[in-house]
């Protein structure tokens, strides 16, 4: 209840209430009945506010945090990205106490875990784990009630040294040897990968609605954007690819499917997926490479091949960026460097060329 106090020869009503072990008070103007009523109303309102604001304390463990983040990642990211994050989480849980509270994880703990990955696997692998776990921690801090709001312990660890080799780019002759071994939609799939520098998932997701034969354009849907948003990228159809698509439209055995590429094999292992769009084709490229007797390569290596062909033919960074559909030209530049293709070659050729020798012209007399 409010109390009447006398301070500096002035009587006033003071409301008081204890919340969470802390005393809250408020002084009112005078000793009148009106001030007393206001003080009583303030105390009642504070009590109701305290009853309605019951904060639930949640203690997140490594396991519970990981499960929540993977549920989010499954809906938000591509299948490949989700599998990568799942593998990272599986390693963390198996090498730690899964019931340990995340509030107790320190940078030292993260250093020990990542350092172990560095020693047993590689710097590249440790840095990939660091990136994914730091992203998961940031997500937990943003969306999970009661998650630690302080320092991200995974980001506190410096990146490990890496030894990276240029990514494998198959020779053009190897690609065409594999292409010659393919038939039907498989041949079209390879041509689509080469002419569009498309990722495997983008090829599998292609529908006939994505092809505009009237304007000779095709739309690739990508999730390789910040936040995992699915966005359309329109590219021009080359004459060769357009003709191949028109031909397949007429010859396709499954007329009812909206997808361009569908499963056409009736095998027990495919669980009656005939006519359904592909999810993955793990043995498809390896089988063709073995038949063609070339070093095995996959769909993403064809994307590398497209970039390298354009580079060697002298196309600008801007042209290659448009084909690869990178939003930032720096991404394209890094991409080419990883393929062993340096953008400074022209500068070196021109800047360090040996000066031409001046040959003195002698006039003939006589």
Give dist(CA 188, CA 240) in Å, integer: 10
Regarding whether 296 and 212 lie in a shared domain, the answer is yes
61 has pLDDT over 50:
yes
Regarding whether 123 and 248 lie in a shared domain, the answer is no
Q: What is the per-residue pLDDT for 13?
A: 82
**Residue 283: partners with Cβ closer than 8 Å, 6 or more residues away:** none
The secondary structure of 259-295 as a DSSP string is BSSB-----GGGTS-TTSBPS--TTHHHHHHHHHTS-
Does residue 115 fall inside a structural domain? Answer: yes
Alpha carbons within 13 A on the beta-carbon side of 3 = 6
* Global pTM value: 0.64
Give dist(CA 171, CA 20) in Å, integer: 71
Regarding whether 287 and 179 lie in a shared domain, the answer is yes
- C-alpha torsion angle, residues 304, 309, 311, 317 (rounded to 10): -60
CA distances, 11 to each of 6, 40, 102 (Å): 4, 17, 53
Q: What is the per-residue pLDDT for 209?
A: 96
Q: Mean pLDDT lowest for which of 142-151, 154-163, 238-247, 332-341?
A: 332-341
Give the start-end residues of each E strand in 178-223.
211-212, 217-222
Could you count the other beta carbons within 10 Å of the beta carbon of residue 321? 20
CATH for 225: 1.10.443.10
Tally of domains in the chain: 3
Does residue 153 fall inside a structural domain? Answer: no
The tens digit of pLDDT for each residue in 244-275 reads 999 999 999 999 999 999 998 766 555 677 88
Regarding whether 212 and 314 lie in a shared domain, the answer is yes
Does residue 280 fall inside a structural domain? Answer: yes
Domain that holds residue 126: 62-143
Give dist(CA 127, CA 121) in Å, integer: 11
Regarding whether 291 and 188 lie in a shared domain, the answer is yes
Regarding whether 313 and 240 lie in a shared domain, the answer is yes
Q: What is the per-residue pLDDT for 56?
A: 44
Does residue 354 fall inside a structural domain? Answer: no
Q: What is the per-residue pLDDT for 43?
A: 82
Residue closest to 261 by CA, chosen among 178, 183, 175, 186: 186
Q: What is the per-residue pLDDT for 75?
A: 84
Q: Which residue has the higher pLDDT, 40 or 185?
A: 185
Regarding whether 309 and 212 lie in a shared domain, the answer is yes
Q: For 106, phi and psi rounded to 5 degrees?
A: -110, 165
Last residue of a domain, one of 92, 122, 143: 143
Does residue 16 fall inside a structural domain? Answer: yes
Asked if residue 190 lies in contact with residue 179, where contact means CB atoms within 8 angstroms, the answer is: yes
Give dist(CA 221, CA 209) in Å, integer: 12
Regarding whether 265 and 128 lie in a shared domain, the answer is no
The tens digit of pLDDT for each residue in 291-342 reads 999 999 999 999 999 999 998 888 888 899 999 998 888 888 888 887 777 5
Regarding whether 331 and 234 lie in a shared domain, the answer is yes
């Amino acid at each position: 209840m409010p109390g009447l106090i006398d301070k500096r020869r002035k009587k006033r009503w003071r409301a008081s209430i204890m919340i969470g072990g802390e005393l809250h008070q408020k002084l009112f103007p005078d000793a009148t009945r009106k001030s007393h009523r206001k003080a009583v109303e303030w105390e009642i309102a504070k009590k109701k506010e305290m009853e309605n604001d019951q904060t639930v304390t949640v203690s997140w463990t490594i396991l519970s945090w990981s499960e929540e983040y993977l549920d989010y990642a499954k809906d938000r990211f591509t299948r490949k990205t989700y599998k990568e994050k799942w593998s990272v989480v599986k390693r963390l849980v198996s090498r730690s106490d899964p019931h340990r509270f995340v509030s107790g994880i320190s940078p030292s703990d993260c250093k020990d875990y990542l350092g172990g990955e560095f020693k047993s696997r590689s710097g590249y692998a440790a840095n990939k784990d660091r990136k994914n776990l730091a992203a998961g921690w940031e997500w937990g801090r943003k969306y999970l009630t009661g998650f630690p709001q302080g320092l991200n312990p995974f980001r506190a660890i410096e990146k490990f040294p890496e030894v990276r080799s240029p990514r494998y780019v198959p020779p053009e002759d190897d690609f065409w040897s594999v292409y010659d071994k393919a038939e039907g939609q498989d041949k079209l799939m390879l041509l689509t990968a080469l002419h569009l520098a498309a990722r495997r998932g983008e090829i599998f997701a292609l529908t006939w609605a994505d092809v505009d034969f009237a304007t000779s354009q095709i739309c690739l849907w990508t999730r390789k954007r910040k936040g995992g948003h699915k966005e359309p990228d329109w590219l021009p159809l080359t004459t060769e690819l357009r003709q191949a698509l028109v031909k397949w439209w007429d010859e396709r055995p499954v007329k009812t499917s909206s997808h361009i590429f569908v499963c056409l094999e009736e095998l027990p292992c495919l669980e009656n997926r005939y006519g359904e769009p592909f999810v993955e084709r793990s043995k498809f490229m390896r089988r063709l490479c073995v038949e063609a007797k070339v070093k095995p390569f996959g769909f993403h290596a064809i994307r590398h091949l497209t970039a390298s062909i354009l580079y060697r033919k002298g196309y600008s960074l801007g042209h290659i960026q448009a084909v690869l559909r990178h939003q930032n030209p720096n991404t394209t530049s890094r991409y080419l460097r990883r393929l062993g293709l340096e953008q400074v070659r022209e500068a070196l050729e021109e800047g360090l060329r040996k000066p031409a020798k001046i040959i003195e012209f002698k006039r003939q007399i006589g």
